[in-house]
Chain A
Amino acid sequence: MERRAFLASLGTAALASQVPLRAQEGPAAASGRITLLHTNDTHSRIEPFGPGNGAISGLGGVSRRATLVRQLRQQLGSVLLLDAGDTFQGTPYFNRYKGRLDYQLMRMMGYDAGTLGNHDFDNGVGMLVEAMEAMEQLQHANAPFAFLNCNFDCKGAPALQKWIRPYLVKDFPGVRVGITGIGVAFAGLVAPKNHEGITWRDPYESLKPVVKRLREVEKVDLVVVLSHLGYNLNGTGPDDLHLPGQVAGIDAVIGGHSHTFLETPTRVPQAQGETLVFQVGFGGVNLGRLDFAVARGQVRAASGAAMPVLA
């Protein structure tokens, strides 16, 4: 990635954060801005990609991502840091530390919420819960982050159930944000013994009541879905691209699973407004950024870009 392209990615994403609003002049709750920073399919890629990995050689790395997030938080203020699942599996770090390190580093970076991907079940529910517990037990100023999912029925796995929340609401000056999560079907991806006690439900149908509650009861201004369905399955299963047409009222789908490299979010028109569908590759090569300007409960401007995590 050249310097100019990097600058362009910052510039494109920043546009929504520069749209003039009356937020600063009017009532506190009337309007505001929020930036969503996000990753997906980081796959235990703690260190940057080494040489011999083609176009992504030298990119990524948790330490640099932490710096980038910190800088953006300092600059923008209203920021959520989110992840779309498949944190686990992919490097020897996972084999050795069983995901505990990944989740602890995510807390250190200040993640607010994440969802679960199929690979997060690779060592079974017990190991997944152990990693969550290790994250919570870490002595750190940042609060533990939330695990969001609304289409896994975890009644048969109570140890996991207590960690999973259907949604999260976060308040920022002038913007109230609701976040939820959905996961891909286990069939053919997760060995039955590794998701014992958890039943997968249709993500579209599972989302509808959650989005309705976020809009009508929680009165959020912005609805964000962390999805591990995959970007486009060409009609063979539920996916991110078709989600906005199936479930109304979603402003952003932050996706994962298909390792799709998008440079900017795909805008999917809705009956009212549009949904931004985004995914930024895998392995922490990019940090995604979505900026929303909200006024009186309506999205006035939205933009986004993938920001390469450069050496």
Chain B
Amino acid sequence: MLKPSSALLCALLTLSLAAQAPAGKAQVLPLGPTIPDDPAIQKVIDPLAAEIKASFDLPLVQAPQGLLRGRRGEENLLGYWVADVMRTAAQGTVGKPVRFGITNAGGLRSNLRPGLLKVADIFEMMPFENELVVVELTGAEVIQVVKEGIVRRGGEPCSGVKARVDGSPEQPVFVLTWEDGSAIDPAETVRVATTDYLYGGGDSIPTLRKGRKPFTTGITLRQMLLDQCAALAKAKQELLPPAPGRYTLPVPILEAIRDKKLKL
């Protein structure tokens, strides 16, 4: 950005040059810090905005702390909530335990700021029409999925697993357990809640594509989140962030991930 003094000079210079432009060519551009609305465009937008506002301004639930994605190196508590909701909804849909849930941080497009959440906040955070999919993976494949997420983005939001990376960036040691600290049996087959986007190969978690017996629920993630907010409000509860501690990544490992130097 130009310094203020040069900015003013530049503006004056421009006005001066414009004044010298060939007669008949130059028209005055109203220079000013504000730009008025275009009446024709605004006439189209106004009724649609009212329609959007009527449905999207509906209050959902109080979230006194908000749910935040976290900055680089911080845990994505918003993502944890989404993954938890996915896993719970998947269990309700298939009627069987779902051991692991994973979504992608890139799909969460905004934070949920502290205060009263509205329908529009959920739409803005989760604008996509992605659906919940339940697949089967082995324990070994679950471990690989989590590792792929760590290497790519420092860990995609997940539910049901805790991960820690020890060792050095050159020789990382991945330590993964179920959320209660018990060991993951590599041979055990478990159900996994994810999205049709990730299962289809989105966001480069290739092992998720190995998922077997896919069950496409037809439920959008957004609808699940809206339903969860409504259920909390009905129970007179607040939406609170899940506890951190699902990913423990020391700074040198985070730096290696940032520099794309961490390898599996």
Contact = CB atoms under 8 A, between A and B. Distances in A.
Contacts of B22: 24
A105 B45 CA distance: 9
Interface in A70-91: 70-72, 74-75, 77, 89-91
A250 B60 CA distance: 51
Given A8-B2, A11-B11, A108-B41, A64 B35 contact: yes
A63 B45 CA distance: 8
Give the bracket for the number of chain B residues in contact with chain A. Answer: 35 or more
Interface string B97-139: 0000000000001000100000010011001110000000000
Contact of B204 (A62, A64, A94, A188): A188
Contact of B202 (A70, A191, A263): A191
A5 B21 contact: no
A95 B121 CA distance: 13
A309 B32 CA distance: 11
B140 interface: no
A94 B127 contact: yes
Residue from the set A66, A108, A188, A263 with the largest chain B CB neighbour count within 10 Å:
A188
Interface in A5-33: 5-8, 10-12, 14-15, 18, 24
Nearest to A97: B48
Interface in A160-209: 187-193
Nearest to A4: B7
Contacts of A14: 14, 17-18
A105 B127 contact: no
B11 A7 contact: yes
A87 B123 CA distance: 17
Given A7-B31, A189-B202, A191-B200, A46 B10 contact: no
Contacts of A71: 29-30
Interface in B1-19: 1-2, 4, 6-8, 10-11, 13-14, 17-18
Given A8-B2, A8-B7, A75-B29, A66 B38 contact: yes
Interface string B179-211: 000000000000000001100111110000000
B201 A187 contact: yes
B260 interface: yes
Interface string A287-311: 0000000000000000000000111
B52 interface: yes
Contacts of B29: 10, 71-72, 74-75
Give the bracket for the number of chain A residues in contact with chain B. Answer: 35 or more
B65 interface: no
15 contacts: A1-B33, A2-B33, A8-B6, A18-B18, A47-B49, A67-B36, A70-B38, A92-B124, A94-B127, A96-B52, A122-B129, A123-B129, A192-B201, A263-B1, A310-B35
Given A7-B10, A71-B29, 5 more contacts: A18-B21, A66-B41, A67-B36, A91-B124, A95-B123
Interface of A: 1-8, 10-12, 14-15, 18, 24, 46-47, 52, 61-64, 66-68, 70-72, 74-75, 77, 89-97, 101, 104-105, 108-109, 122-123, 187-193, 236, 263, 309-311
Interface of B: 1-2, 4, 6-8, 10-11, 13-14, 17-18, 21-22, 25-38, 40-42, 44-45, 48-49, 51-52, 56, 109, 113, 120, 123-124, 127-129, 196-197, 200-204, 260
